[in-house]
């Protein structure tokens, strides 16, 4: 079987790269040493071409790894053989309906462009995941991406009213919806957060809001994690409805404090008067990079726990890091109980990478012990799939496998992602 020659007939020779370029073999977990392999990178230009590629792979039992912007933090688009199916050419804004607050876009349109086009039409797309200039709306749907504003506005799922998607058989699923339509099963709900394991999303129908002017942010400082988390809990208990309720622990503040004109934060001095709202958000967006810059890399997670247990998670992250000889810190979305616990590392040192993975496993243990989840934001991907059964329970995993078998009967879509790898059925 010549993958490249056959798929060139489907998408055109110029859109098949065999062997695939290095960038197609990793996502944002590269810092943590995760790198895959594949026979070819294929870049279809339409839903029909996506369907053609998937049907070809289904006939031969060849694994398909859907790839959006490659910003994922769980290794979900890191291929394990087969074909990388990149969606970047599906980059058309198909339709904008300002009067009915709707937009239809190809799966390859970047998140930032969705937000820009919405704004140009007097509308607002609320999800604000951190890597918006590179992540694609299809990837956002596949991971049900959120961000700081998820507390107030909900994650991507809330804003998706329809998708066009290619099932693991190569058939096209047209799950376009009205704002209210209870006729079908909630297939959209299944596809949101499915991490490329159930279907390849090719087009997304979005619901939007009229343009929105945020209130200026409030910054508050507390002596320790316990006091800070108690304050966050008090905000909600009082019935306040903030759009965002984020936190940084001492280590994250020390890393990020000196960036973006916020030198005073690092010195612990009090801020007087108003800080420009845009500056705060720019600084907030840079935290992950500022933390990674400390050692050149980081392994950061997205476990979530009930808010009442968040302080234990934050303190526990630093303790776990110390046990493995790694500096660690946390920041995240207190209102949703999500903590980006990060272990800082020099990615060129294999021993540090190994220690960081061991530390992450302990962080998962802690999150589960605190009544939490392995992933509040990025998905299980390839990095955490091995713990799915322990975290979710055997009946839930069996139900997930049954859903997968219905939509991807040959198991060719992202095997080993989200669910532990089973045998590829009918594979020659
Ligand atoms: C600096 C930084 C900040 C981040 N901040 C956030 C944040 O605040 N909130 C958050 O939720 N995430 C965040 N992320 C993670 C990441 O940006 C999101 O998970 C994003 O939604 C991934 O989109 P992508 O297009 O890059 O997908 P990829 O990384 O390409 O893929 C992610 C998963 O989706 C699947 N996939 C991609 N496209 C499709 C498609 N069209 N059809 C079917 N499956 C598909 C892939 O197979 C894979 O399993 C951050 C990442 C970085 C690097």
pLDDT in tens, 214-231: 888 888 999 999 999 999
Q: Which atom of ligand 1 lies at the shortest distance from residue 28's CA?
A: 53
Q: How far is the CA of 75 from the centre of ligand 1 (A)?
A: 9
> How far is it, in rounded angstroms, from Cα 342 to Cα 77?
21
Q: pLDDT at residue 266 above 50?
A: no
Q: Is the CB of 416 under 6 A from ligand 1?
A: no
Q: How far is the CA of 298 from the centre of ligand 1 (A)?
A: 17
Q: Is the CB of 143 under 6 A from ligand 1?
A: yes
Tokens in use for 280? Answer: 């705060």
pLDDT of residue 278: 77
- Tell me the pLDDT tens digit for each residue of 128-163: 999 999 999 999 999 999 999 999 999 999 999 999
Length of the chain measured in residues: 428
Mutational pocket test of ligand 1: of 72, 333, 336, 377, the residue with most ligand atoms within 8 Å of the beta carbon: 72
Mean pLDDT of the chain: 92
Tokens in use for 397? Answer: 């995993």
Sheet with strand 246-248: strands edge to edge: 246-248, 331-333, 338-339, 303-304
Using pLDDT thresholds of 50, 70 and 90, give the confidence band for residue 275.
low
Q: Is the CB of 196 under 6 A from ligand 1?
A: yes
Q: Is the CB of 76 under 6 A from ligand 1?
A: yes
Using pLDDT thresholds of 50, 70 and 90, give the confidence band for residue 180.
confident
Q: How far is the CA of 197 from the centre of ligand 1 (A)?
A: 14
Q: Is the CB of 87 under 6 A from ligand 1?
A: yes
Q: Is the CB of 79 under 6 A from ligand 1?
A: no
Using pLDDT thresholds of 50, 70 and 90, give the confidence band for residue 11.
very high
Q: Which atom of ligand 1 lies at the shortest distance from residue 128's CA?
A: 8
Q: Which atom of ligand 1 lies at the shortest distance from residue 130's CA?
A: 5
Cis peptide before 19 (omega within 30 of 0): yes
Q: Is the CB of 108 under 6 A from ligand 1?
A: no
Q: How far is the CA of 378 from the centre of ligand 1 (A)?
A: 7
Nearest alpha carbon to residue 304 among 380, 401, 243: 380
Q: How far is the CA of 302 from the centre of ligand 1 (A)?
A: 13
Q: Is the CB of 66 under 6 A from ligand 1?
A: yes
> How far is it, in rounded angstroms, from Cα 366 to Cα 320?
9
Of all residues in the chain, what percent carry a pLDDT higher than 90? 81
Strand partners, 248: 331
Q: How far is the CA of 31 from the centre of ligand 1 (A)?
A: 16
pLDDT of residue 190: 96
Q: Is the CB of 127 under 6 A from ligand 1?
A: no
pLDDT of residue 260: 56
Lowest mean pLDDT among 10-14, 39-43, 134-138, 422-426: 422-426
Q: Is the CB of 301 under 6 A from ligand 1?
A: no
Q: Is the CB of 138 under 6 A from ligand 1?
A: yes
Mutational pocket test of ligand 1: of 79, 83, 139, 204, the residue with most ligand atoms within 8 Å of the beta carbon: 139
> How far is it, in rounded angstroms, from Cα 32 to Cα 295?
12
> How far is it, in rounded angstroms, from Cα 174 to Cα 162?
8
End-to-end CA gap in the chain: 11
> How far is it, in rounded angstroms, from Cα 21 to Cα 71?
16
Contact of 383 with 418, CB cutoff 8 Å: no
Q: Is the CB of 419 under 6 A from ligand 1?
A: no
Q: Is the CB of 255 under 6 A from ligand 1?
A: no
Q: Find all residues with CB under 8 Å of 16, minimum gap 6, and list them.
A: 4, 7, 8, 40, 41, 42, 43
**Three-state DSSP class for residue 151:** helix
Mutational pocket test of ligand 1: of 26, 30, 66, the residue with most ligand atoms within 8 Å of the beta carbon: 66
Q: How far is the CA of 267 from the centre of ligand 1 (A)?
A: 35
| Alpha-carbon distances, residue 350 vs 150, 356, 364 (angstroms) | 36, 10, 21
Q: What is the mean pLDDT of residues 5-26?
A: 97
Q: pLDDT at residue 321 above 80?
A: yes
Nearest alpha carbon to residue 217 among 149, 269, 171: 149
Q: Is the CB of 147 under 6 A from ligand 1?
A: yes
Q: What is the mean pLDDT of residues 239-246?
A: 95
Using pLDDT thresholds of 50, 70 and 90, give the confidence band for residue 178.
confident
Q: Is the CB of 139 under 6 A from ligand 1?
A: yes
Q: pLDDT at residue 270 above 70?
A: no
> How far is it, in rounded angstroms, from Cα 412 to Cα 168?
7
Kindly write down the DSSP assignment for every residue of 68-84, as one continuous string: SSS--SS-TT--BSSEE
């Amino acid at each position: 079987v010549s993958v490249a020659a056959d798929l060139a007939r489907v998408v055109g020779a110029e859109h098949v790269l065999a062997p695939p370029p290095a960038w197609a073999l990793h996502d944002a977990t590269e810092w943590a040493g995760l790198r895959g392999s594949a026979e070819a990178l294929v870049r279809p230009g339409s839903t029909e071409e996506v369907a053609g590629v998937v049907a070809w792979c289904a006939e031969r039992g060849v694994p398909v790894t859907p790839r959006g912007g490659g910003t994922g933090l769980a290794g979900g688009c890191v291929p394990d053989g087969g074909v990388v199916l990149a969606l970047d050419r599906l980059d058309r804004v198909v339709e904008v309906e300002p009067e009915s607050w709707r937009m239809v876009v190809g799966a390859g349109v970047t998140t930032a462009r969705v937000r820009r086009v919405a704004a140009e039409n007097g509308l607002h797309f609320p999800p604000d995941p951190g890597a918006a200039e590179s992540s694609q709306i299809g990837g956002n749907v596949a991971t049900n991406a959120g961000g700081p504003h998820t507390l107030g506005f909900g994650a991507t799922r809330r804003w998706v009213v329809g998708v066009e998607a290619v099932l693991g058989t190569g058939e096209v699923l047209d799950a376009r919806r009205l704002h209210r339509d209870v006729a079908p099963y909630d297939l959209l709900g299944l596809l949101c957060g499915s991490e490329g394991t159930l279907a390849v999303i090719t087009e997304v129908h979005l619901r939007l809001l009229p343009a929105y002017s945020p209130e200026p942010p409030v910054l508050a400082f507390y002596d320790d994690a316990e006091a800070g988390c108690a304050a966050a809990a008090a905000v909600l208990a009082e019935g306040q409805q903030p759009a965002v309720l984020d936190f940084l622990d001492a280590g994250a503040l020390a890393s990020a404090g000196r960036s973006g004109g916020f030198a005073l934060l690092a010195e612990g001095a009090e801020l007087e008067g108003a800080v420009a709202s845009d500056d705060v958000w720019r600084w907030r967006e840079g935290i992950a990079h500022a933390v990674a810059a400390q050692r050149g890399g980081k392994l950061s997670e997205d476990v979530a726990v009930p808010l009442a247990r968040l302080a234990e998670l934050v303190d526990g992250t630093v303790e776990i890091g110390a046990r493995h000889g790694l500096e660690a810190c946390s920041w995240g979305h207190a209102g949703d109980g999500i903590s980006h616990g990060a272990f800082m590392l020099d990615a060129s040192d294999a021993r540090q990478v190994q220690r960081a993975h061991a530390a992450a496993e302990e962080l998962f243990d802690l999150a589960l012990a605190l009544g939490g989840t392995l992933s509040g934001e990025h998905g299980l991907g390839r990095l955490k799939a091995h713990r799915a059964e322990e975290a979710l329970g055997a009946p839930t995993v069996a139900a997930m496998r049954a859903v997968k078998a219905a939509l991807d009967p040959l198991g060719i879509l992202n095997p080993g992602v989200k669910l532990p790898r089973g045998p590829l059925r009918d594979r020659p």
